[in-house]
Structure 1
Amino acid sequence: MTDGHGSLPEEMGEEFWNERYRSSERIWSGRPNRHLVAETEDLVPGRALDVGSGEGADALWLAARGWQVTAVDISSVALDRAAAHAAEAGEGVAGRITWLRADVTRWAPPTPGFDLVTAQFMHLYPNPRARLFAGLAAAVAPGGEFLVVAHHPKDLETGVPRSPVPELFYEGDAVTGALAEGEWDVLVDDVRTAEQTVDETTHTVHDLVVRARRRA
């Protein structure tokens, strides 16, 4: 994964992310990812796995809608901050979330068991990325859904601040290629654009959105 400031994956272990979160009272917006909202707001709540949960905005949004959420991140600072946000939201939200510190490139979720597995902006080199997506897909229960959102390679052409390593960016086949043949229906494989202002400069950003449902 990358932080949008040019750091490379091999530099970005637990201590990197702890220091990154300590550098500011809030790193991310505090709002759930717009693609997560668009793709899951009509789903019946069940068990969700939020991978790379950061400060917890996605997990809180899911829990507020009735999901039982396991939220995983490498940073203990981020998880402590997320748990504090959940406590502020009340027991009805906080009680539905389990916070788990893990390096997802080495951790395997229980399989299968989740009605929704969501991974937002996980940017790794191809081999660990393929292993991660295969493991996450295996964690989806029959009838459940797998949602991946990422910076698309087109962002490297627009000038938006991104890591300068092309191998960290990918298209939909990097996700769909991890799905067992004959077991999945791909519902969305799309590139969506939006305007984003970074350091007072407005860029067109391209987000890859892949959503698949495991056949019951």
Structure 2
Amino acid sequence: MSTTFLILTSFTATALPAMLVKSIVGYLVAFGVGLVVYLAISKLFYSRILASRDREPARYWVALQWISTGFLWSQWLVQDLANIFAYLPRQLDMSMLIFALVVMLALHAYLFYRRGGAIQGIVTSKTNTQDIRSATLIDFAYALILIFFKELSNVPMSTTWVFLGLLAGREIGLVLMLKVTSLNQAGRTAASDMAKALAGLIVSIAVAFAMPYLAAYTGGFTHDHAHPVTVSPD
């Protein structure tokens, strides 16, 4: 389930069409990038990764993994912090900022403890994604795509959809070049992932549009009183 659709639509329902269009474009662009990149590198580079996946990678891959992960997290936070801080006042004092950061760090620590939880199965079901070299390449590609869309416009988007598009393009590229599985299987997996994302979108929209009625029933705020969220993700 995309937190972007779930949270921001709850605050500003009119932003949904623009977010949806940008997220669909994000999926398609990421799919294309994943396909082209892995078509280009599969024979010369990725086949070596698959052939040596039972051996310990060179130690410099550890440093590259840390760098790529930090790079990706920075770009992901630029995109998704708007989803969290939509709940907070536009001007934060130091105590509120510290409280928000502590809560977010604690929740992320729990996710790390759970090793990503059930949703991690989507990632690990793909070809050789647990190899540190594969993960490094995915992180770099994902972060660069997020930078592109951050500069493209200030409209929030679903980073979940971008990630699913990148994984789908990658998997099909590997299938076409290295025959790691059948093309039908790769297509079914991509379709299954997208179906789950669409189901999450439907639930998100339903929850978001139910919020004003719940707020009115409980005497809370409606969309008209919500903080604006069409701000730069910076």
TM-score clears 0.5: no
TM-score, normalised by the number of residues in structure 1: 0.29
Which structure's residues are more often helix, by fraction? 2
